[in-house]
Structure 1
Amino acid sequence: MHILSNFYNSTRSEYYRKLNEISKNEVDLTHFINYALQDFKDGCKKFSIS
């Protein structure tokens, strides 16, 4: 999905920080999922038709 890959490329340090958090706490993916969903939401806004 290009929306997410573009976001991850533009926020690369945050992306790696979130992945690092996951590796330290394998049970709780909440922060990474929230990060990804926020990007998806923002990316969809760019393509919405008013």
Structure 2
Amino acid sequence: MNLLVYYEQFQWIGHAIAREKQIKAGSREAKNDLIRSMNPTWKDLYEEIKDIMTE
């Protein structure tokens, strides 16, 4: 089962890629802390983003 538990929006693809590299370079605990800071219950956020994805 896959859940969307964290996302960020960017206007420019280059900024998104740079942020993705920054996040990927962090430890698993840093990634978990980032998720918990925005989504403490690890709720599936797909319903929030599905309309954004079709724009």
TM bucket normalised to smaller = 0.3 to 0.5
Give TM-score, length-normalised by structure 1: 0.35
TM-score (normalised: structure 2)? 0.33
